[in-house]
Structure 1
Amino acid sequence: MQIKRVGVIGGGQLAWMMAPPAQALGIELVIQTPSFDDPAVAIAADTVIAPIDDADATKELARRCDLITFENEFVDLAALFPLAASGVCFRPRLEALSPLLDKYHQRCYLEKLGIPQPEFALPSSPKHIKFPVVLKTRRHGYDGQGTFIIKDSETLQQKLATLHKLSEVLLEEFIPFERELAVMAARSIDGNVMTFPIVETQQENQVCRRAIAPAAISSTVAQEIEAIARTLMTSLQAVGVFGIELFLTQDQKVLVNEIAPRTHNSGHFTIDACVTSQFEQHLRAICDLPLGSSALTCGGAVMVNLLGYEYAQDEYIEKRAQISQVPHARVHWYGKHESRPGRKLGHVTVLIDQFHPEAAQAIAQKIESLWYPQLNK
């Protein structure tokens, strides 16, 4: 069956960035999102305005499209299973999402597969995890929200006392990593798994500030990460693109941090720097089209997130114009009219002919000096 209309649960920038490849592939997007102001509403062929965890709205979304995919994972999965049983097509399938949406369940699933990861435990049975520890909310945490580094037992008890339910959090071993890495992996309906170039991600306040492709890692580390991606995507029988975030320790051990069952911020560089973007690849996978090449079309790339640093109604046209003058810079603005600290307003990708990590870092610093006023004081 030729897929002509794809429903997307979520109307943020990830759905918005699906629009150009969807148009090129002859696919219309139908969006379920809670607000007319969300970025993807402007590019949708049709829109269902409703919370993304509203199963009745998703039923209406299904009526308007051929299949449904996800822009984010903040859905009520239990409420969607009856829709799947009635014949609604979800890609990735709900069974592939089920072990991943709760971070504790995700850890248990990785443990079952034998995939290396930090030690973890529930607060009620903390095992032998030593301080400092990482306290995480099990659902709905992103961009550092719901993640806390706890240095001692007293602070942990104080933090736990503020929670309504201990069952809402888990504890993880704190990893003093050498660097953070990420890889976007795609799997087709027939089981073909492809990975994009592995990137180094650099976080500040647990929010991704920049991604550098390709990561300066050994071939052994790269092969291990690609094997992890293949194992995970095959085990889940996933269809579409998933983001896998990892730690690389000082002794070159690879540990999985988190898995996002969707396109991901760390893969935005692929729009400008790869033969096929992560968004086109996702559409190709879910629509049963041949996967495209994931190869770089340049020596490397630097992606810098344009994060809000103030509360304002501003589209920062002058700053964006300055950044666009940086050689080989491509500015992507998400159409959000309201800024607040930490909000992702856009991103910039700078293409590099001959890749050197030091040069990539200098480019990132140049972009950020133009964007963040506090860096110029």
Structure 2
Amino acid sequence: MSIKLGIIGGGQLAWMMGDAAKKLGVELIVQTPSQNDPAVSIAKDSIFAAVDDAAATEILATKCDIITFENEFVNLAALSQLEKKGVCFRPQLAALAPLLDKYEQRCYLRDLGLPVPQFFALPGEKDIESKIADLGFPVVLKARRHGYDGQGTFIIPDFSALSKIINHSNTQFLVEEFVPFTKELAIIAARSVNGEIVIYPAVETFQEEQVCRWVIAPAIITKEQNLEIEAIAHKLLNSLQYIGVLGIELFLTADGKILVNEIAPRTHNSGHFSLDACETSQFEQHLRAVSSLPLNNSILHCSSAVMVNLLGYENCQSDYQKQRQQLADIPQSTVHWYGKTEARPGRKLGHITVLLEQDNRDAVKHIIHQIESIWYPPEKISQNFP
């Protein structure tokens, strides 16, 4: 008898679970706002409702054995009432609770003894100057809830810019020091019901305007730095008693220190390379973990891989068939198109992964430039190649 798995959220992260679900005999049922959302096409059944609609989630629970999450924009208090009635959530709500608010997440990481940037919750105006004086400008301002792909994150150069944002917003904010990192890193980790942990290779990521442009696997870091990152993942997963996949974003500083930036309690953009470059993708690993199946091998089966996000750069409706065909002609490439019907600047429409036989940074740079030159008009091509 197949497992019936409910997913709160029907975007591309849920859609990319489709092939693994077929392989493992898992039936997917999604709760998602629109019939045009990507995962509707691969789901056995769909409930069309906002992801924070707990009444819809109660209906979802009647159709499945376990409920998991594609995104973290849920109403935890309302879901806890369902959990008390016996609904099985994986990861458990207790594991999500300290992670959904970014200030509370920072506090949790700090209290675990994990290395994080200096931070504070935005207090009243009278306290800001003294607190920021300890950090110095620029600082990073983050919405405590519902920020993603650069939304709700601001690099603040001075008090004037800070006041302009906070005086025109009802949002609660986290303020943290600006870290002059040399690399942004990420790691995908999974923990099973039985406490088994599997970790994917650490990767280097590159962001523009706080949106990920590309990912390079594996990251070029020292053995000691890699071991430190893996130790962070183990400590976090075990402390939370987490079940499923999560993504950990990190900074590498000029003096070689590792700092934890953010935790995403779900599959993550930095792990998309695993669909083509690893024996077991992060999506299959997540299904295995939440369905009480054994975890599987996460190692690369190539020397290195490059994943480039295909981001919207205009407001239009197009399937970009010409560019997609040119991208598919790149040797050792796979194009993943999410089937979204509308493009807008910064929206993730798809991604491409290219497998390389050698871990050669000149080859990586060439591939990224080739992909961006095909996908973007000249003025939108990044000028910051690795």
Whether the TM-score (by the shorter chain) exceeds 0.5 is yes
What is the count of residue pairs matched by the alignment?
Answer: 374
Q: Secondary structure at the match of 1:366?
A: helix
Q: Secondary structure at the match of 1:339?
A: coil
TM-superposition CA deviations, 1:71-115 (whole Å, max 9, x none): 000000000001001100000000000000000000000011010
- The unaligned stretches of length 5 or more in structure 2 are 382-386
Name the structure 2 match of 1:304.
308
- What does residue range 268-347 of structure 1 map to in structure 2 within 5 Å? 268-347=272-351
Name the structure 1 match of 2:384.
none
Q: Secondary structure at the match of 1:215?
A: coil
- What does residue range 198-237 of structure 1 map to in structure 2 within 5 Å? 198-237=202-241
- What does residue range 259-274 of structure 1 map to in structure 2 within 5 Å? 259-274=263-278
CA–CA distance in structure 2, aligned partners of residues 54 and 236 of structure 1:
25
- What does residue range 68-147 of structure 1 map to in structure 2 within 5 Å? 68-124=67-123, 125-126=127-128, 127=131, 128-147=134-153
CA–CA distance in structure 2, aligned partners of residues 3 and 82 of structure 1:
27
Per mean C-alpha deviation after superposition, the further-off stretch among 59-68 and 125-134 is 125-134
Q: Secondary structure at the match of 1:338?
A: coil
Q: Secondary structure at the match of 2:79?
A: helix
How far residue 357 of structure 1 moved from its aligned partner, in angstroms, is: 2.1
- Give the counterpart letter for 1:83 in structure 2: L
CA–CA distance in structure 1, aligned partners of residues 317 and 162 of structure 2:
38
CA–CA distance in structure 2, aligned partners of residues 72 and 218 of structure 1:
32
Q: Secondary structure at the match of 1:140?
A: coil
Contact 1:3 1:66 (C-alpha < 8 Å) held by counterparts: no
- The unaligned stretches of length 5 or more in structure 1 are none
CA–CA distance in structure 2, aligned partners of residues 323 and 152 of structure 1:
42
CA–CA distance in structure 2, aligned partners of residues 375 and 25 of structure 1:
44
Structure 1 residue ranges (4+ consecutive) displaced by more than 4 angstroms after TM superposition: none
CA–CA distance in structure 2, aligned partners of residues 322 and 188 of structure 1:
40
Q: Percent of counterpart pairs with the same letter?
A: 60
Name the structure 1 match of 2:362.
358
Contact 2:2 2:25 (C-alpha < 8 Å) held by counterparts: no
Name the structure 2 match of 1:161.
167
RMSD of the TM alignment (CA)? 1.2
TM-superposition CA deviations, 1:275-316 (whole Å, max 9, x none): 100000000001111100001011110000000000111000
Q: Secondary structure at the match of 1:118?
A: coil
- Give the counterpart letter for 1:155 in structure 2: A
CA–CA distance in structure 2, aligned partners of residues 190 and 251 of structure 1:
38
Contact 1:369 1:375 (C-alpha < 8 Å) held by counterparts: no
Name the structure 2 match of 1:56.
55
Contact 1:53 1:75 (C-alpha < 8 Å) held by counterparts: yes
CA–CA distance in structure 1, aligned partners of residues 122 and 83 of structure 2:
34
What TM-score, normalized by structure 1, do the two folds share? 0.97
What TM-score, normalized by structure 2, do the two folds share? 0.95
The yes-or-no answer on 1:254 pairing with 2:253 is: no
How far residue 375 of structure 1 moved from its aligned partner, in angstroms, is: 4.9
How far residue 164 of structure 1 moved from its aligned partner, in angstroms, is: 2.0
CA–CA distance in structure 1, aligned partners of residues 160 and 33 of structure 2:
40
Contact 2:313 2:380 (C-alpha < 8 Å) held by counterparts: no
CA–CA distance in structure 2, aligned partners of residues 111 and 179 of structure 1:
21
